[in-house]
Amino acid sequence: PRYVALIPAAGVGARMAAGSPKQYLPILGKPMLRHTIDAFLSSPLIAHTYVVVSADDPFIDTIVPEAGVTVLGCGGATRMESIRNGLRALHGGIAPDDWVLVHDAARPGLDAELIARLIVETGEHPAGGLLALPVVDTVKRHVAGEVATVSRDGLWLAQTPQMFRYQLLTRALDAATDPSAITDDASAVEALGLAPKLVEGHPRNLKVTLPADIRIAEMYLAAHQP
């Protein structure tokens, strides 16, 4: 089976409060999405990379087209919808047991080493796998005036890529009845009663959400420059 990457990049990045969608904000002089695509292009394990953008995305022209990358203009109203539309567009060009690595455009710090670790450690796991980080902070839950400390035992922070066989991912997302409860692809697979494998990620693979995250991403990416 082949490994393909699917990058949902049709968000508007409201929390970033910038002029353009955050996936196009410059990081070390290159659009964030370019770094994310380049991570997959640098991996010899990835057969092809698909990027899902909005049909009317005026910024995609800033991403120079390249062999091995296909841009799909079928973004939806939510992340999950963008991914479902992207998977539908792949239909016919992908085998049911091929692996799809779904990765957020907003995580430009990914690199070939992390991609390889995810693929190798997930192996043939029937429920697929994802990069994640063990929680190191003390966790508090504050609900209705009550504050409690939650044991961090067994708690992980989910990252992406999250990889599943095409057939399983499609089935899981089609079965998801409450899209707002599905904040990542693994949760849709878990809802089928399956337990995806957690593979240790890295802080450099942070999700750029707030303006200050840009600086942190630049620090990690600069450390990798030749």
CB nearer ligand C5P, residue 30 or residue 207 = 207
Nearest position to ligand C5P, beta carbon: 11
- Please state, in angstroms and rounded to a whole number, the distance separating the CA atoms of residues 59 and 15: 19
Q: What is the 3-state secondary structure (H, E, C) of the chain?
A: CCEEEEEECCCCCHHHCCCCCHHHCEECCEEHHHHHHHHHHCCCCCCEEEEECCCCCCCHHHCCCCCCEEEECCCCCCHHHHHHHHHHHHCCCCCCCCEEEECCCCCCCCCHHHHHHHHHHHCCCCCCEEEEEECCCCEEEEECCEEEEECCCCCEEEEEEEEEEHHHHHHHHHHCCCHHHCCCHHHHHHCCCCCCEEEECCHHHCCCCCHHHHHHHHHHHHHHCC
CB nearer ligand C5P, residue 7 or residue 127 = 7
CB of 33 to ligand C5P, least distance (A): 8
CB nearer ligand C5P, residue 139 or residue 210 = 210
CB of 105 to ligand C5P, least distance (A): 4
CB of 9 to ligand C5P, least distance (A): 5
CB nearer ligand C5P, residue 89 or residue 125 = 89
CB nearer ligand C5P, residue 55 or residue 148 = 55
Using CB under 6 A, list all residues that contact ligand C5P: 8-11, 23, 52, 75-79, 82, 104-106, 207, 209
CB nearer ligand C5P, residue 210 or residue 226 = 210
CB of 10 to ligand C5P, least distance (A): 4
CB of 23 to ligand C5P, least distance (A): 5
- Please state, in angstroms and rounded to a whole number, the distance separating the CA atoms of residues 100 and 192: 18
CB of 147 to ligand C5P, least distance (A): 27
